[in-house]
Amino acid sequence: MAINRHILLGVSGGIAAYKAAELVRLLRKQGDEVRVVMTESATQFVSPLTFQALSGNSVHTELLNAQEENAMGHINLARWADVLLIAPATANIIAKCSHGLADDLLSTLYLAVSCPVYIAPAMNQAMWSKTVTQENVAKLKGQGVTIIGPESGEQACGDTGFGRMSEPAFICEQLVAKPVERCLQGLTVLISAGPTREPIDPVRYITNRSSGKMGYALAHAALKAGATVIYVETAAEMYEAVMAKASGCDIYIGTAAVADYSPDVIQPQKIKKHASQTTIILQKTKDILAAVAKLDSCPFTVGFAAETENLEAYAQHKLHEKNLDMIAANWVGREQGGFDSEQNALQVFWKTGQKNLAMMNKTQLAEQLILLCAERFNEKNTT
C-alpha cells in the first residue's frame, strides 16, 4: 500500500548512521518520499552519495550554503515535511534540539518544522543513562516529540546496555500512518452533527437514533487537521445556521441525521391523552445538503447516507441527485457500527472513485475520512 508521506530524515553522527541507509530503503519501499539531511559528523560515517542514491534526492548538509538554499531552502524543506525523523540521534543533537539551538541545518529544521517529530537515539550506554541526557529526552517528550528506542544490547564500542538504535523496520512501524495534522491548514470546515428534534408540543418531539458521535469525531479530526470548525447545534435552526455560513466555508460535511419530516403544527400546550387515536401531520423538511450543493459559491460538499438496505445504490443515487462531491455511506440498524455505536465502517464514493474504510473506532475513522476529504478537496481545487 502506498503511504506517500514526505519524510525528512535527519542523520546525525553515530555509527548507527549506516542503519539509516536501510531505513531510507524501507520507507521508499512503502511509498514514502524521503529527503535526507546529514550533520557534518554524519558524513564522516556514511557518504552523502549513499543517501542520495537510496533516496533519489540530493542530500542536504549545510545551512549556509547558497547553492543548497537555492535548490530547496531550509524553510521550504521544513514546510515540505509531513514527518521529521532523526535517526540516529546522537546525545549532541538531542541536547541541541531540546534547548532550541540552531547552529546547523538539522537543528534549525527541528525548530522550523510544524509536523510530528520522531527521534531514534543511538549512543553509548553511559551517555544514554547520564542524567543530563535523560533530562534532555524528557524535555523533547514534553515538546511533543516521539522517542523511538533505544534498545538494549551489544554496542559497537564493546559495551552492553541501552543505547543501540532501534532496528529500521521497527522505526518504520512506529511512524503513524499518514498524519492528519495540517492537512486542512487554513481551511474552514462546517460540520453538522447529531439528530434533529422536531417538536410536537412543548414536551414531546420526533427524533432518530443518531448520537452525534461521528460528527463530533469529525469535528475533532478537522480541528487536528488545522481547520477552523464552527459548531452548529440546534435542530430546528440547522438549515438557517448552515445556509448562513456555508458560502464562506471551504468544506461542508453533513453528518447530521436531519429529520426528513417535522410536525406541521407545534401545539402550544401539552397534548392531552383523551382520544384513543391521534394523527400528527408531518411536513417534509428542507434538504440542507442539497441546498448547500446548489449554492453559487458552494463549498466542497460531503454527505452521509445511513441505510438499512441497498447501501451502494442509494449512496450513488444521493451523490448524483444532490450533486455532492463525496458521500460516506454506512449501514444502520445492524449489530455492529452505525448510530450510537463507538465503531463504524464507511463506504465512501465520489464521482470518479470510491474507498472502503473498514470497521474501526469513530475517532480513527473520522481521521481517515478527513484525510480523504483533504485529498479530494485538493484534487478538485488543482484541476
Residues that bind ligand C5P (CB under 6 A): 192, 254, 256, 258, 260, 285, 287-289, 303-305, 318
Q: How far is the CB of 146 from ligand C5P (least distance, A)?
A: 36
Q: Facing residues of 76 across strands?
A: none
CA distance 206 to 351: 34
Between 68 and 198, CB nearer to ligand C5P: 198
Q: Which of 97, 115, 157, 183 is catalytic?
A: 157
- In angstroms, the CA 361 to CA 383 distance is 33
Cα 15 → chain centroid: 34
* Minimum CB distance to ligand C5P smaller for 164 or for 322: 322
Q: Which is nearer to ligand C5P, 68 or 287 (CB)?
A: 287
What are the grid coordinates assigned to 135, written together?
533530562
For residue 217, which amino acid is it? A
User: At 347, phi and psi to the nearest 5?
Assistant: -110, 115
b vs e for 166-180, b when ≥16 Cβ sit within 10 Å of the residue's Cβ? bbbeebbeebeebbb
Contact of 207 with 269, CB cutoff 8 Å: no
* CA–CA separation, 375 and 145 (whole Å): 26
Question: Looking up cell 522517542, which residue turns up?
Answer: 147
At residue 58, φ and ψ (nearest 5 deg) are -70, 150
C-alpha cell at 259: 429529520
Q: Which is nearer to ligand C5P, 330 or 368 (CB)?
A: 330
157: annotated active-site residue = yes
Q: What phi and psi values does residue 373 have, to the nearest 5 degrees?
A: -60, -45
Q: How far is the CB of 189 from ligand C5P (least distance, A)?
A: 14
Q: Which is nearer to ligand C5P, 91 or 305 (CB)?
A: 305
**Least distance from C-beta 347 to ligand C5P, angstroms?**
14
C-alpha cell at 38: 546529514
Indicate the residue among 14 and 254 with the shorter CB distance to ligand C5P.
254
Residues forming beta bridges with residue 35, ordered by sequence position:
8
- 305: cell is 447516507
Q: How far is the CB of 301 from ligand C5P (least distance, A)?
A: 9
CA 69 to CA 63: how far, in whole Å?
Answer: 8
Catalytic residues: 157
